[in-house]
Amino acid sequence: MDTILPQTPEPVTAEQLRAARSLLRIAQRDLAARAGVPLPSLRRLEGVGGTVKVPPDIVRRTRRALEQAGAVFVAGGVQRQAIPEWPLSYEEKLAQVRVIQAEVKQLPILDPRPVEVMFADLYDENGLPR
């Protein structure tokens, strides 16, 4: 195993980075975006067992993003730490909203009146509860 970044407190290898991403089930494109590194650099970093030179900053940012997602780098390997779920990207949130909108459109309409009319007696002209 070739060390990619010997300056780090605990050196990390390409195999560890690749294993961490796989363990956390994070796509390369998503990891690159979250780490703020170019996708081709991440692919080079993971691709050739640490023999390809990439700027140390790219390794540090990639490692930091994986650690924030729950990876714990140990001697010769990686483990998963139980932490809150990885925050969703804008695109992932938007996709969830669209799924919910489609589900709502399929719900049966019990009262055909607009919501403003149905609940008009609950709120005053300023939108405050009566």
- Alpha carbon of residue 29 to chain centroid: 10
The region, left, alpha or beta by phi > 0 then psi within -120 to 50, assigned to residue 50 is left
Q: How far apart are CA 53 and CA 115, in angstroms?
A: 60
The phi and psi torsions of 8 (rounded to 5 degrees) equal -70, 155
So what's the pLDDT on residue 6?
Answer: 39
CA angle 4, 55, 87 (to 5 degrees): 85
Mean pLDDT of the chain: 80
Confidence label for 19 from pLDDT (cuts 50, 70 and 90): very high
The proportion of the chain whose per-residue pLDDT surpasses 70, expressed as a percent, equals: 84
Q: Is residue 105 pLDDT above 90, yes or no?
A: no
Q: Copy the structure tokens of residue 59.
A: 């390794």
